[in-house]
Amino acid sequence: MTATAAPTRVLFTGFEPFGGESTNPSWEAVRVAVAAPLAGLELHAVELPCVYGESLTALRAAVDEICPDVVVSVGQAGGRPDVTVERVALNVDDARIPDTAGAEPIDEPIVPGGPAAYFSTLPIKACVAAVRAAGLPASVSNTAGTFVCNHVFYGLAHLIATELPHVRGGFVHVPYAPEQVTDRAQPSLLVAAVAAALREIAATAARTRTDLRVAEGATH
């Protein structure tokens, strides 16, 4: 009898639309990413509200229900030209625009007394390399901002650090979808391409224990 390894359970999260947009490519891409099977992986997708606090409650509920090995949270970063794998989450909410419930916190800690920052526990450089090898643009980002995406990233990292050390997780920001920028000179990437990149990231996170030691830093 051949023993079959248990599949790596991957939870993707995407966000509802925000900021006056009618779609959010993060959720659209996550939906597409989980629609087809991927060898050795069990893929799940959950949509989060773009609301401080509530987004983390929903993430927590999904983690409790699905018991993932890997969590890849995804959000829209309008204006970025490529798929960006985030390195660091900051313990601060500082809203430039209201969240979809109207909250606009300024300089509030996400976890009072928590560490100033957490690093992603995904192999970020291996993930970037895998997306590029699939022919799609990707880079490491050193800031996830201070809006709801960073909030979810920090909350996820805190949950992993304090309660779920066997889970690996991080955050990926994705460009606008082309249909969002037909009237603006802004970079965009097809949802299908973003979904393919997310599948590469899931597969890479599942098989990679030690990240690549290659320079992906920034001078500013």
Q: Cα separation of 209 and 185, whole Å?
A: 40
Pairwise CA distance, residues 12 & 46, whole Å:
6
Active-site residue set: 86, 149, 173
Report how far residue 77's alpha carbon sits from residue 183's, in angstroms, rounded to the nearest whole number.
17
- For ligand PCA, which residue of 12, 147, 154, 171 counts as binding (CB under 6 A)? 147
Q: Does 13 bind ligand PCA (CB under 6 A)?
A: no
Contact 148, 18 (CB under 8 A): yes
Is residue 141 a contact point for ligand PCA (CB under 6 A)? no
Q: Is 12 in the site for ligand PCA (CB under 6 A)?
A: no
Q: Which of 8, 10, 12, 26 binds ligand PCA (CB under 6 A)?
A: 26
Helix, strand, coil tally for the chain in percent (to 5): 30, 20, 45
Let me know: does 43 contact 12? Beta carbons within 8 Å: yes
* Residue 52 binds ligand PCA, judged by CB under 6 A: no
Using CB under 6 A, which of 34, 131, 140, 148 touches ligand PCA? 148
Residue from 12, 18, 52, 176 touching ligand PCA (CB under 6 A): that is: 18
As given in the structure block, the two tokens for residue 188 are 């965009």
Say whether residue 77 binds ligand PCA (CB under 6 A). Answer: yes
Q: Which is nearer to ligand PCA, 8 or 13 (CB)?
A: 13
Instruction: Verify binding: residue 29, ligand PCA, rule CB under 6 A.
Output: no
